[in-house]
Each structure stands twice: as C-alpha cells, then as structure tokens.
Amino acid sequence: MAGPGDDDEQHDPILDGKREAEARSLACVSGGGSGERDMAPSAPGPSIHRSGSRPQLDLSKAEIQGNFEERDPTILLPNQSDDISHLALDIGGSLIKLLYFSRRHEEDYSNDDDKRKRTIKERLGIITSGNLRSYPVLGGRLHFVKFETHKINECLDFIHSKQLHRRDPYPWSSKTLPLGTGVIKVTGGGAYKFADLFKERLGVSIEKEDEMHCLVSGANFLLKAIRHEAFTHMEAEKEFVQIDPNDLYPYLLVNVGSGVSIIKVDGEGKFERVSGTNVGGGTYWGLGKLLTKCKSFDELLELSQKGDNSTIDMLVGDIYGGMDYSKIGLSASTIASSFGKAISENKELEDYRPEDISLSLLRMISYNIGQISYLNALRFGLKRIFFGGFFIRGHAYTMDTISFAVHFWSKGEMQAMFLRHEGFLGAMGAFMSYEKHGLDDLMSHQLVERFPMGAPYTGGNIHGPPLGDLNEKISWMEKFVRRGTEITAPVPMTPSKTTGLGGFDVPSSRGSPLRSDASALNVGVLHLVPTLEVFPLLADPKTYEPNTIDLSDQGEREYWLKVLSEHLPDLVDTAVASEGGTEDAKRRGDAFSRAFSAHLARLMEEPAAYGKLGLANLLELREECLREFQFVDAYSSIKQRY
Ligand SMILES: Nc1ncnc2c1ncn2[C@@H]1O[C@H](COP(=O)(O)OP(=O)(O)O)[C@@H](O)[C@H]1O
Ligand SMILES: CC(C)(COP(=O)(O)O)[C@@H](O)C(=O)NCCC(=O)O
C-alpha cells in the first residue's frame, strides 16, 4: 500500500500511519519462511508435512509458476489436497451456533462470471491460463452464525445453500463430495436430538462431541489465541484484559445458556463441572415472554432498558421505612426480594409495566448467576471467572450486574470477565475437535476479527450465490450502510451508580435501542492469516505491540478517523486509476468507499466493535476492505511511475 517518497514527508498523518503499518509488516514476514521453519530436517523425500495439528503442506512436485525473475513468484503445489475442516455446530436448548471456515479463494473467486474470475486469478498469479489448479492459500476466515434452535430447518437450508457439509478442495471445479460421505462435528443436546434430521436433509452423519469438553477447549483457544477476547465490564466501563497464555489456569468458566454450567478449568482437557443452575437464559427469556408478551429476546432485553424495577421489587428501603440497613452493608435501594412488591399490592399482571417486569427479571437472574459463580470460585480459591453463553448478549446492564455481584461478595478479590465470542465457545470447541483443524497452535497475531463485508445472509434470508458476486456484495453493502446508521453501541447508558452499601441502582439513562442482532448481519468473522510469522529479530516478540497509536483514547481516535475519512476520496481515485479507470473499477471504488465509511462510522459509535483498536488495525481494515472489492494494490499505478 505504500506510495513513494515516504521518507521525505515527515508529518503527513497518512504516511505516518503507513509507516506504522510497515513497522507491523516488518514484524511479520509472510510466506515461505513459515514453511521452511516447520520442515522436519529428517523428512524423507520431497513430500514434507508440517506438524500434525496444522494444515498439511505437501510440497512434492512443487514448481515455480510464471517468471523466475519476479520477486515473489507463485509456487504451485500440485499435490496439495489437504483442506481444513469446514463446519461445526453447537445445538443448544435455545440457539444453534454454527462455525464455518472458508478459505480466501473460496470467497473471493467463487464468482459465477468465469471470464472475470479467471482474469482476477491470473492477475493474482493464482492460476496459469488453461489451468484450473489452485495454489494453497491457507488463509481464510472463521464465520460465526446463529439460528434459533426451533428453526433448525433454516439452519439446514443455510448449510445446504453454501454447501458447507461438503468439503471441496477445489471449490471452482465441479468436484464435490458425494452425498452420504460427510461427517460434521456437533456438540450440545441437538447433536442427539437432530442426528437423523441431518442425515435425512443433508446426507451427512453427525459426530457427537461432549458439550463440556467443547466449552472448555473453545474458551481456552479463544482466550489464548485472540488478543482482545476477554474484557471486564464494571459500571458501564469496558476494559480489555490481556491474557497471558502461560498464566491462564485455573479459572472458573460460567456458561450462561438456557441453563448455567459452572466449570473449574485447570488446563487443556483438565476440567470439572463443579456446579450449575437451572435459572439461566432460558428462564429470563421464557418467563419474560410469558409475563410481557414480547416476541423476541432482544425486544425483552430492550424493554428492560426503559424499566424501573422498584415498582415490582421489594427493596431494603421498603422494609426498613426508607432507611439503609447499613450495619450489614445494605442500602435502602438494594433489592431485598425480587418481585416481592407483588405480594402486598392488589395488582394484576396487566397493572405492571412490561418494562419494569423485564428489568426486575434481568436483575434477579443476572445477580443470582453472579452470586452462585462467586460462591463456586470461593469454594476452589479461584480469582478469575469468565462468563460465556448467549444470555450475556454483550448487554451492558447484564454484565454490570454480574460484575457487581462478583465484586461485592468477593470484596473486590475476584474478577468477572466476559468473552467477545460469548455464545460460540462450544461451537469453537467442536471445530477444534477435528483431527486436523489446524488452529490450536496459531499465534494471536494470526487471527483478527473484522466485519464481514461480503456477508451473504441477512435477516433470515439467504441471498445466494453470495460472496464472489460483486453486484450482490454491493447491494448487501448498501443494506449494511443503511442499517449501520440505525444501529448503536450495545446499550449505551450513563454509568450505573452503586450506593457503596451493596445497592445497585437502576440505570439512570434509558439507553438507545439494542444493537441489531449479530446473526442478522452475520457479524463476527475471524480472519485467519497463517502465513504471517513473527519477525525473528524482535527482542521480545511476546510483548511487542505493533499498535503504537492506541485509538482507545477519544481524541486520538477522532483525529485518525477524520484523517482516514478525509483521505478516502483520494484513495478511491488512486485505486481506480491503478485499475485503468474502467467503469467496473469506478463501481468497485464507490462500493469500497461506502463500505469503509460504514466501518469508520461504526467505530466512531463503538470503538471496541472489532476488539481493541489501534491505528495499525484501522489501516489493515482498510486494506482488507480494498481487497474485498478486488483492488489488489491501490497504489500500483503510483509505484509503476517511480
Ligand atoms: N436471539 C435470541 N433468541 C433466543 N435467545 C437468545 C437470543 N439471544 C440471546 N438469547 C439468550 O441466550 C440463551 C441461549 O444461550 P446459548 O448460549 O445459545 O445457550 P443454548 O446452548 O442453551 O442454546 C437464551 O436462553 C436467551 O436467554
Ligand atoms: C443441561 C445443560 C448442560 C445444557 O446446556 P445449554 O443448552 O443450556 O447450553 C445446561 O442447561 C445446564 O447446565 N443446566 C443446569 C442444570 C443444573 O445443573 O441444574
């Protein structure tokens, strides 16, 4: 992406940014190096395999393709037939969590338009004319999608539409696995309940994976591999926690799904389910639905933001004549008994506001979960509690309530932490259980989370064939941009106050609507970049932080978002010129511009939307976005001039 003359322009913020991105790419060198490092010196013959858990690289009959004078000629690996497992599911009591892997070329070049597809591939050096073999692009993406369990058929349609149940080493050829030969890893109760349906509808067998085992291995993986996976949430303040993979155990994992499982984790595969409670997410949603007539979980959650639970909960002050019970640390506003006021008041259900009921229910269940978790952590002398499961739903008030309970009862000794992929722990674990998933030893810098711009699936409708079709992508982008302006950060609230005496007041701000459900926009993609390697001369690779400009600082963030936004028209012009200024390039340039603007707008609203934000991430995001719209190198025309 770098243009010429970087050295003479000391104070151009864009160029400074470029320098940072370059510093980052200096820290990570790509390609052959990694292959070489992993080669076993004693490997017999030309066919060399890498360590068992990684994708196998078959180098036999490797040949350089094209011009030998080129700096980075493409290497064809004709015998490379290995593939990473594609699909795993966690089918729970309420939701189906689906995780699938797509390699870059499957997405970028699965276009219907053969001519165009081949031109692009040729330009990228992926194929020779008349030759439809691929070179092994090991990079790809992990997609996270969810469906309601009672809509299992929608999920099966989705799998079928994307042919996720068939592993296909050459996606653009006509080869596919014959029906009836595939196996999908599935965890959760649905692995038992729906095994026959999968066979019937998709012709695949289900390999059942233990739910607790999957939860633990998924959590371990995410905590170790994703740089900003865990965070604390106290009094509306979200703070990312850097986990040292060598100092992760022991910890308590609390998975709040329909019901709650409480697991003490001592290591990889070393865990014990020490407790659980049947008062969980299913209780909130089930009771809430009955009591409020809400039609969706999010509607119920959103209602809670406008609620005042003191109309229905019995508070300490109600019992103590408006006074605190300070001797035992209870303020007048502390809930003495959830729903307790309903006993004495001569009211019917209809006399209570659904908003108040929802908040009262949410507080009751969240607080209870926090408290039980604290007691279990205490039982085993654990200090760190990680909460997962979709009940959490990234919802500020839920997390604040759980954190408050843990903090209050442990007198600040224990820490409640949440996971960004909260509901996908089990699915991740199931994915990891494939023999050659190739992910377990990935370093944190190899997985980054970004918004998928080519998302094919919106609002329960499948718009296929999706990812490679530019028209489809652009129209999807337009929807996203429109939607992006509607959505807000999850439950923005003014900080909730505590009385210091164990009270936990109602949210003083009523909050904006809950951000639209991630599943509708297919949010949550981990980009896998396994060709990146840590620069070997770094003094301390573990602590090296390429993001020298931290955008969590508001001033810094506003400055850089503005700079990138203002620079966007120039970048589009340059990118379009690099592709000969064709009509097609103009259209893609326009789509890129809208897409990237939408990202910037979202980050302005919700800086942590894609994890902790630094300038280097932002520049990478821009590059990724350019590539989404098939700009191979926006600066190529400038580079050619010099
Ligand atoms: N869109 C949704 N539909 C239903 N429940 C949801 C939704 N989003 C969050 N939830 C909450 O998440 C819970 C399910 O969490 P999850 O971790 O998927 O558990 P399970 O494996 O039991 O399905 C539900 O009981 C509900 O409280
Ligand atoms: C049975 C379950 C493991 C199923 O998992 P889920 O679908 O709720 O994610 C879970 O609902 C649970 O742990 N329930 C609590 C049961 C108890 O310990 O009382």
CA of 345 to the centre of ligand 1 (A): 33
The average pLDDT across 384-393 equals 96
CA of 617 to the centre of ligand 1 (A): 31
Give the residue, by CA position, lying nearest to ligand 1 atom 11.
391
| Residue 123 confidence (pLDDT) above 90 | no
CA angle 434, 436, 441 (to 5 degrees): 105
Q: Which one is predicted more confidently, 132 or 336?
A: 336
| Residue 576 confidence (pLDDT) above 60 | yes
CA of 156 to the centre of ligand 1 (A): 19
| Confidence grade of residue 500 (pLDDT, cut at 50, 70, 90) | very low
- pLDDT at position 472, please? 56
Q: Is 149 in the pocket of ligand 2 (CB under 6 A)?
A: no
Q: Is 511 in the pocket of ligand 1 (CB under 6 A)?
A: no
Q: State the Cα–Cα distance between residues 166 and 183, nearest whole angstrom.
A: 9
- pLDDT at position 433, please? 85
Give the ligand whose atoms come closest to the C-alpha of residue 517: 1
The average pLDDT across 445-454 equals 44
CB within 8 A of 125, min separation 6: which ones?
65, 66, 73, 74
Q: Is 258 in the pocket of ligand 2 (CB under 6 A)?
A: yes
Residue 258 alpha carbon, nearest atom of ligand 2 = 8
For residue range 10-26, what is the model confidence (pLDDT) as tens digits? 333 333 344 343 333 33
For residue range 579-612, what is the model confidence (pLDDT) as tens digits? 999 988 898 888 788 778 877 887 887 777 666 6
| Residue 201 confidence (pLDDT) above 60 | yes
Give the residue, by CA position, lying nearest to ligand 2 atom 18.
276
CA of 308 to the centre of ligand 1 (A): 24
CA of 292 to the centre of ligand 1 (A): 18
| Confidence grade of residue 181 (pLDDT, cut at 50, 70, 90) | low
CA of 599 to the centre of ligand 2 (A): 37
Q: ipTM of the assembly?
A: 0.99
Pocket perturbation via mutation, ligand 1, pick of 154, 260, 287, 390 by most ligand atoms within 8 A of CB: 390
Helix (H, G, I), strand (E, B) or coil at 205: strand
Strand partners, 457: 462
Question: Which helix H or strand E contains 21, and what residues bound it?
Answer: helix 13-27
Q: Which one is predicted more confidently, 237 or 110?
A: 237
Give me Rg for the CA atoms of the chain: 26
Give the residue, by CA position, lying nearest to ligand 1 atom 2.
297
The residue ranges of every structural domain in the chain are: 6-28+537-641, 87-106+143-214+430-485+520-528, 246-312+352-419
- pLDDT at position 591, please? 79
- pLDDT at position 254, please? 98
Per cent of the chain over pLDDT 90 is 38
| Confidence grade of residue 65 (pLDDT, cut at 50, 70, 90) | very low
> Which of 114-118, 144-148, 337-341 is predicted least confidently?
114-118
- pLDDT at position 212, please? 98
| Confidence grade of residue 554 (pLDDT, cut at 50, 70, 90) | confident
Among 337, 336, 287, CA closest to 316: 336
| Confidence grade of residue 548 (pLDDT, cut at 50, 70, 90) | confident
Q: Is 388 in the pocket of ligand 1 (CB under 6 A)?
A: no
> Which of 122-136, 196-210, 521-535 is predicted least confidently?
122-136
For residue range 334-387, what is the model confidence (pLDDT) as tens digits? 999 999 999 988 899 999 999 999 999 999 999 999 999 999 999 999 999 999
Residue 423 alpha carbon, nearest atom of ligand 1 = 17
| Pairing label, strands 457-458, 461-462 | antiparallel
Among 486, 394, 469, CA closest to 107: 469
CA of 261 to the centre of ligand 2 (A): 6
| Residue 477 confidence (pLDDT) above 60 | no
Distance from the Cα of residue 73 to its chain's centroid: 34
CA of 281 to the centre of ligand 1 (A): 6
Query: DSSP secondary-structure letter at 148?
Result: E
CA of 258 to the centre of ligand 2 (A): 7
- pLDDT at position 474, please? 54
- pLDDT at position 85, please? 53
| Residue 205 confidence (pLDDT) above 80 | yes
Q: Concatenated DSSP letters for 544-582? A: --S--SBTTSHHHHHHHHHHHHHHHHHHHHHHHHHTTT-
CA angle 550, 552, 556 (to 5 degrees): 65
Q: State the Cα–Cα distance between residues 519 and 462, nearest whole angstrom.
A: 12
- pLDDT at position 36, please? 26
Distance from the Cα of residue 625 to its chain's centroid: 17
Q: Which one is predicted more confidently, 380 or 116?
A: 380
Residue 286 alpha carbon, nearest atom of ligand 1 = 25
| Confidence grade of residue 243 (pLDDT, cut at 50, 70, 90) | confident
Pocket perturbation via mutation, ligand 2, pick of 96, 212, 256, 260 by most ligand atoms within 8 A of CB: 260
CATH number attached to the domain at 6-28+537-641: 1.20.1700.10
Residue 188 alpha carbon, nearest atom of ligand 2 = 7
| Residue 515 confidence (pLDDT) above 80 | no
What is the side-by-side order of every strand in the sheet holding 140-148? 205-209, 183-187, 87-91, 95-103, 140-148, 525-528, 447-450
| Residue 43 confidence (pLDDT) above 50 | no
Q: State the Cα–Cα distance between residues 571 and 522, nearest whole angstrom.
A: 28
CA of 259 to the centre of ligand 2 (A): 4
* Helices 211-225 & 425-432 angle (0-180, nearest 10): 90
- pLDDT at position 120, please? 43
Domains 6-28+537-641 and 246-312+352-419 share a fold: no
Give the ligand whose atoms come closest to the C-alpha of residue 362: 1
Q: Is 490 in the pocket of ligand 1 (CB under 6 A)?
A: no
- pLDDT at position 519, please? 35
- pLDDT at position 566, please? 94
Helix (H, G, I), strand (E, B) or coil at 112: coil
- pLDDT at position 543, please? 72
Distance from the Cα of residue 89 to its chain's centroid: 15
Distance from the Cα of residue 195 to its chain's centroid: 27
- pLDDT at position 191, please? 97
**Which range, 177-181, 199-203, 543-547, has the best average confidence (pLDDT)?**
199-203
Which architecture does CATH list for 87-106+143-214+430-485+520-528? Answer: 2-Layer Sandwich (3.30)
Report pTM.
Answer: 0.71
CA angle 156, 161, 165 (to 5 degrees): 65
- pLDDT at position 620, please? 79
Q: State the Cα–Cα distance between residues 424 and 188, nearest whole angstrom.
A: 12
- pLDDT at position 503, please? 54
Mean pLDDT computed over every residue of the chain:
72
Q: State the Cα–Cα distance between residues 343 and 394, nearest whole angstrom.
A: 33
Query: DSSP secondary-structure letter at 313?
Result: S
Selected from 3.40.50.300, 3.30.470.10, 3.30.420.40, 3.30.1360.40, the CATH number assigned to the domain covering 246-312+352-419 reads: 3.30.420.40
